[in-house]
């Protein structure tokens, strides 16, 4: 399994993104944040998809629109 295929828990993703797990839960409800999947009732995130989501949020200037989601 490559790092891109590795599945992360909400706690691991929250730590990487410097947010609370409750924030991730709110993002899931509102359709914001990185893509996730449910496996056997457990929420999991693909490490590669989380990394891609973080890169998609990158801004080059403070004048660029900043909105989570």
Question: What is residue 58's predicted lDDT score, i.e. its pLDDT?
Answer: 84
Question: What is residue 28's predicted lDDT score, i.e. its pLDDT?
Answer: 97
* Count of the separate structural domains present in the chain: 1
Question: What is residue 64's predicted lDDT score, i.e. its pLDDT?
Answer: 62
CB-based contacts of 32: which residues, under 8 Å, 6+ apart?
Answer: 26, 68, 69
Question: What is residue 45's predicted lDDT score, i.e. its pLDDT?
Answer: 98
Q: How far apart are CA 14 and CA 20, in angstroms?
A: 6
pTM over 0.75? The answer is: yes
Distance of CA 4 to the CA centre of its chain: 13
In a domain? residue 68: no
In a domain? residue 66: no
Q: Domain containing 33 — which CATH number?
A: 1.10.10
Phi, psi of 12 (to 5 degrees): -65, -40
Residues of the chain with pLDDT under 50: none
């Amino acid at each position: 399994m490559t790092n891109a295929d590795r599945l992360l828990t909400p706690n691991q993703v929250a730590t990487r993104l410097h947010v609370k797990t409750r924030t991730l839960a709110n993002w899931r409800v509102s359709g914001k944040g990185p893509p996730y999947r449910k496996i056997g009732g457990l929420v999991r995130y693909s490490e590669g998809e989380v990394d891609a989501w973080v890169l998609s949020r990158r801004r080059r200037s403070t004048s660029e629109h900043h909105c989570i989601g």
